[in-house]
């Protein structure tokens, strides 16, 4: 009776029931801006479109795929609602 069972009798979870949906961060705010300065340790000073400045670092996938950020690049920043002075760079616009 192997229908729906994995080796050892552990039931498989069907993918179509939403078990593999990545967790969405509810407390994150997506903003856009321009990198002003590259700092040590992979951090960047980013001037947002609304005039504020935040300190940002590269997200894990951008670091993994070796996406380079230079001063003057337009980026998308994910800012936490709890600390509006820091953020994570999630996308570099072309």
Strand ranges inside 14-83, DSSP E: 28-38, 43-48, 53-58, 74-80
Question: What phi and psi values does residue 62 have, to the nearest 5 degrees?
Answer: -70, -35
How wide is the angle at C-alpha 92 spanned by C-alphas 56 and 42, nearest 5°? 35
Structure tokens at 52: 């504020």
pLDDT in tens, 70-91: 999 999 999 998 999 999 999 9
- In this prediction, residue 26 has a pLDDT band, given cuts at 50, 70 and 90, of confident
- 21 or 63, which is more confident: 63
User: How many whole angstroms separate alpha carbon 18 and alpha carbon 88?
Assistant: 27
Domain ranges of the chain: 27-92
Query: Is the pLDDT reported for residue 22 higher than 50?
Result: no
Which run of H or of E encompasses 58? strand 53-58
Determine the CATH number of domain 27-92. Answer: 2.40.50.140
Structure tokens at 36: 């002003």
pLDDT in tens, 36-65: 999 999 999 999 999 999 999 999 999 999
Which residue's entry shows tokens 């729906």?
Answer: 4
């Amino acid at each position: 009776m192997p229908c729906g069972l994995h080796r050892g009798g552990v039931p498989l979870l069907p993918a179509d029931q939403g078990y593999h949906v990545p967790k969405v961060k509810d407390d994150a705010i997506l903003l856009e801006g321009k990198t002003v300065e590259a700092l040590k340790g992979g951090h960047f000073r980013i001037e947002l479109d609304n005039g504020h400045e935040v300190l940002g670092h590269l997200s894990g996938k951008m670091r993994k795929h070796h996406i380079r950020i230079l001063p003057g690049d337009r980026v998308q920043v994910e800012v936490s609602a709890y600390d509006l002075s820091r953020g994570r760079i999630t996308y570099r616009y072309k």
